[in-house]
Amino acid sequence: MSDTVALLTTSVHTAGTQTLQGEKVKGDAYVGQTDGLHTIVVHLNDFIGKIVIQGSLETTPGDNDWFDVQLSDGEFAVDVSGKVTSISVESLVYSTAETSRKAYNAIGNFVWLRANITDWTAGIITSIEMNH
C-alpha cells in the first residue's frame, strides 16, 4: 500500500524570523508497514531557513518524544579504501534563496512524522509531502 500525505501545505513567510511546525502524520509503523521507507518531497520557492523532519516512536507523542530523522537524497561517498557510504543529513539548511523540488528518503519504522521549520526569513514552502 502506498499513501501520499502532506507534512506541510503551502506556507508563505510574512515577516521577521519565523518558526512553523506541521501537524503529525502517520508513518509506516502506524499503518503496519514494515519496510520503513518514507520518501519526502520538499517543494520550495525562494526559501531561506532550516527544515527538519522529525519522527516519533510513541503512539501518543509528547513534546519530548520527537527526534530528528536522517534524510538521504541518494548520494554516496567512497573513501580511499573503497568503502561506500550513504550521505545523509538531519536538516536542510538554506542560507540563500532556494527554489527547488527535491526528494529525500527517510528509513525507519516511525509511528509519526512531522516537519519542523526554523530560522525562516524568506520565501514560500509550496509543500512538503511524504509517501510511504
- DSSP string covering 38-88: EEEEEEEEEEEEEEEEEEE--SS--GGG-EEPPEEEEEEEE-TT--EEEEE
Alpha carbons 61 and 6: distance in angstroms, whole number: 19
- Domains of the chain from N-terminus onward: 4-131 (2.60.120)
Q: Rounded mean pLDDT of 74-102?
A: 90
> Structure pTM?
0.90
The position carrying cell 499513501 is 3
The span from the CA of 100 to the CA of 17, in Å, is 21
pLDDT at position 102 is 95
- Asked if residue 65 has pLDDT above 90, the reply is yes
Q: Give the per-residue pLDDT at 28.
A: 92
Residue pLDDT, tens place only, 93-123: 999 999 999 999 999 999 999 999 999 999 9
**pLDDT of 1 higher than 70:** no
Q: Are 48 and 96 in contact (CB under 8 A)?
A: yes
pLDDT at position 2: 62
pLDDT for residue 99: 97
Compare 1 and 52 and report the one with higher pLDDT: 52
Cβ pair 102, 41 in contact under 8 A: yes
pLDDT 10s digits, 2-55: 678 899 899 899 899 999 999 999 999 998 888 999 999 999 999 999 999 999
Cα(31)–Cα(56) distance, integer angstroms: 14
51 contacts 91 by C-beta, under 8 angstroms: yes
